[in-house]
Amino acid sequence: MSQRSAVHATFVIEKHYPAAPERVFAAFADPRLKARWFVGPSEWGPSEHRVDFRVGGRELSAGGPAEGPKHRFDALYQDIVPNERIVFTYDMHLDANRISVSLTTIEFAPADGGTALKFTEQGVFLDGYDDAGSREHGTRLLLDQLGAVLAHGDAAH
């Protein structure tokens, strides 16, 4: 049974690169440079990648392991401040299922002779994982946690 759900979440990733913000920004802005690093794991087969880096432009990246599922990243650039900030929205599909819609902000700042990159994603994560095995595994884990909490609660009385 497929359950409808919409869970909102935010996560932040912070990185430091020993390269000037101009170089780090260029690795996002120049499609030839971006193609050098914006790729899936080596075990994935050939992938599709198209970038139109301008406000209102799209980026598409699709690929996945040979046995599936196909991951499809479809982005729309919303705001670009050279060497400082990139904002885009994107959705992610696994095969035919849209699993999330996100707003992503990447900020670049000079730090310690290099660049501090702050990646913030705010998203809505949709409909859970439509894989019976994982779902069952996840549910069992959660029920174990629930059990532990309930046991702890009882012990406190």
Residue 143 lies near other proteins (rule: CB under 8 A) = yes
Relative to beta strand 114-126, strand 48-51 is unpaired
Report helix, strand or coil for 156. Answer: helix
Q: Least CB distance from residue 52 to other proteins, whole Å?
A: 19
Q: Least distance from C-beta 136 to other proteins, angstroms?
A: 8
By CB under 8 A, the count of residues binding other proteins is: 47
CA distance 30 to 32: 5
Choice from 46, 113, 133, 153 touching other proteins (CB under 8 A): 153
Residue type, 51: V
109 binds other proteins (CB under 8 A): no
Q: How many CB atoms lie within 10 A of CB 14?
A: 10
**With contact defined as beta carbons under 8 Å apart, do 60 and 38 qualify?**
no
Sign of the C-alpha dihedral, residues 123, 125, 48, 33? positive
Among 55, 109, 111, 142, binds other proteins (CB under 8 A): 142
CA distance 59 to 51: 4
Instruction: Decide if residue 151 touches other proteins (CB under 8 A).
Output: no
- Residue 129 sits in the site that holds other proteins (CB under 8 A): yes
- 46 lies in the site for other proteins, by CB under 8 A: no
Judged by CB under 8 A, does residue 50 bind other proteins?
no
The amino acid at residue 138 is G
Tokens of 86: 């990139």
Q: Footprint of other proteins on this chain (CB under 8 A)?
A: 3, 5, 7-13, 15, 17-19, 23-24, 27, 33, 36-39, 41, 92, 99-100, 102, 117, 119, 121-123, 125, 127-129, 134-135, 138-139, 141-143, 146, 149-150, 153, 157
